[in-house]
Structure 1
Amino acid sequence: MSSILFSILAIYIFIVIGFVAKMSFKERIDDKTITLLNVYFLQVFLTFWGLLIRPVDVTLIFAPSIYLFITLLVLLLAALFAKKLFRDQKEYSIATVAAIIGNTGNLGIPLNIAIFGEESIPYTTVINLMNVFIVYTVGVYYYSRGSFDIKTSLTNIIKLPILWAAMVAILLSIYGYKPSEEIMKTLMMGAYASIVMQLLLFGIYLYGTKISEISKMLTLWVMGIKFLFLPAVAFIILSFVELDSMIKGIIFIEILVPLAIANVNFASLYECKPKIVTALVFISSLLFLGIIFIGVKILSYL
């Protein structure tokens, strides 16, 4: 259990640094500039590095397919019911999509290694890849819809380079391309820079965020979807699927991880109440410190 807790707390160091930096230098740190640098440039390195570090194996496609089915099913149900509860378009967008964008990479991968060992890496890698496509299609669309019309929101998906980078990286991997050690080092530098910058950005937005100003309905809705409804749907579906118990456990843990910091990136990029989204990510991260131990206990029933 200590390794699980350490895996969670270790990545929070950079969040604290971002918070202290913003508190110290305030307006001299431009959070929007950091967002643009990360989303449009550094995350391209992260995508290539993540997809080329090991070959994409088509035999692993079943796990991310189940993850995609669960996620889209919950998204559809959330969108239908949230429409009746949230009149504000930006709050509706947040209520619909925030809970399904989980931290499957920065937290999900090391967490599954702590629970299941290194055998989990191939499965967490492809599930994280599936999550990347969800984030940069459905996620971008809904956060963009908070400020733009449908046509512009769809165009915003196409504009993001990471989606095209992912497609190119997958094709290269399928055709057996193996980058040289020098290229991988360059990609790794950009990838780690992206991860660190994303964590710093979370801390930066966290400064000045007042949790008390967030709609209680929105908070309860997002946390309820994230930690009650989504895991319940996942548990029911996984119970009826014939699959190795370890793979079921990996999928369940990846479903359970807290809101991804990518939510903050897009809320900031498309001006969809980034401070509120930051607070929701923070709350989910705090709740997760206790919920993960309940989740581990549930694994024995899958």
Structure 2
Amino acid sequence: MNLALTVLEITAPVFILATIGFGWVKAGFEYRLEFVTQLAMTFATPCLIFTALMKTEVDPAALATLSLASIVAYGAITVAAAGLMMLLRLKMRTYLAPVIFGNTGNLGLPLALFAFGETGLGYAVVVFAIMAIWSFTFGIWVVAGGGSLTRVLKEPLVWATLLGGLFLWQGWETPRFLTNTLELIGQMAIPIMLITLGVAVARLTPGRTLQAIAISALKLVICVGIAWGVGRWFALDDTAFAVLLMQVGTPVAVTSYLLAEKYGADADAVAGLVVVSTLMSVLAIPLLLAMLL
């Protein structure tokens, strides 16, 4: 009973905020998705990442180990997902990126914070940054037929991660007035991202539902299974291990749909994956948390 209550306390705020976004759109209210997403990804989230890393009390060596584990995990997931696409004869351009990349920002960061506190958030932003860099390069290359290192260098969250890591390593801190300002801006990120997730799901029209259910289930099994094996191989501590599993096991990212729409892949099929995998996570995430807590 206590475990069930703990899991409910962790997951309820996440899904309630997403439901608010969903209901907001269904009620007919305006929500400028592009503007809010840009605000979150170029302003609020980088501030959250920077302050979380700068102020974390996690050993930098532990963060470095988690970074390496994340790289190995996403590499293995990429290979496994490509093999799955060939086995099922699905188009790489449409399905590969959604299977690899989860919603580590909108969903993963809040879950890590609510489940494991500031330490969990510090770990989660590392996994998020690794995923983002791989998504901005390989992910775009798969969907669009060409990626660019220049895009990565233009992303504020990448620089926020590098600067946060540097400040952590050197033991530096920004002046108190600046830290307070950055923290206040960063506090916008989590509610904005969760509400935006609900808005995005509300606006998507699922396509090929049965296929989406099968692929979403396979994604969950592959990602969690590989993360579990990699986490044990690197002997991560309990919190880092749990965060790696939660982050890698998040449902299909909304950005996968946006990329498919932008570059002419099968956006309807990807929309189905986003909606179905997100709904599936309502059951999968509490079950995963129950095993990890």
Report the TM range for the smaller structure's normalisation.
0.7 to 0.9
Question: Which structure 2 segments of 5+ residues have no match?
Answer: none
Contact 1:98 1:222 in 2 (8 A): no
Structure 1 unaligned segments of length 5 or more: list them: none
Give the equivalent residue in structure 1 for 2:32: 30
* Cα distance in structure 1, aligned partners of 2:49 and 2:223: 26
Among residues 151, 155, 159, which one is paired with 1:160 in the alignment?
Answer: 155
| TM-score, normalised relative to structure 2 | 0.79
1:276/1:52 CA distance change after superposition, 3 Å: farther
Deviations 1:135-179 (A, max 9, x none): 32112235534653314x443222212112211221122222123
Structure 1 letter corresponding to 2:46: V
- Which of 80, 88, 93 lines up with 1:89 in the alignment? 93
Partner of 2:53: 51
Per the TM alignment, residue 109 of structure 1 is displaced from its structure 2 partner at its CA by 3.3
User: Identical aligned pairs, as a percentage?
Assistant: 16
SS in 2 for 1:106: helix
Paired residues in the alignment total 284
Change (3 A) 1:291 1:136: closer
Q: CA deviation at 1:8?
A: 0.5
**Partner residue, 1:107:** 111
- The answer to whether the aligner puts 1:223 opposite 2:227 as a matched pair is no
Whether the aligned pair in 2 keeps the contact of 1:55 and 1:174 (CA below 8 Å) is: no
Taking the aligned partners of 2:74 and 2:271, their CA distance within structure 1 comes to 21
- CA shift in 2, pair 1:5/1:283, >3 Å: farther
Which letter does structure 2 place at the counterpart of 1:230? C
Q: Aligned residue for 2:174?
A: 179
CA contact (8 A) 2:49 2:161 kept: yes
**Letter matched to residue 174 of structure 1:** W
Following the alignment from structure 1 to structure 2, what is the Cα–Cα distance between the partners of residues 11 and 298?
19
How much does 1:80 deviate? 3.5
Q: Report what 2:124 is aligned to.
A: 128
User: What secondary structure sits across from 2:109 in the alignment?
Assistant: coil
1:1-302 correspondence runs (5 A) = 1-25=4-28, 28-55=30-57, 57-60=59-62, 61-83=64-86, 85-87=89-91, 89-95=93-99, 97-99=100-102, 101=104, 103-111=107-115, 113=116, 121-122=118-119, 124-145=120-141, 148-151=144-147, 153-211=148-206, 213-214=207-208, 216-226=210-220, 228-238=221-231, 246-247=238-239, 250-251=242-243, 253-254=245-246, 257-259=249-251, 263-265=253-255, 267-268=257-258, 271=261, 280-292=273-285, 294-295=287-288
Distance 1:266 1:39 in 2: 15
155-164 or 61-70, larger mean C-alpha shift:
61-70
Separation of aligned partners in 2, 1:232 and 1:278: 24
For residues 176 and 191 of structure 1, what CA distance do their matches in structure 2 show? 20
Q: CA deviation at 1:134?
A: 2.1
3-state DSSP class of the match of 1:86? coil
Computed over aligned residues only, the root mean square deviation of the Cα atoms, in angstroms, reads: 3.3
Q: Distance in 1 between matches of 2:196 and 2:291?
A: 33
Note the C-alpha offset of 1:78. Answer: 1.0
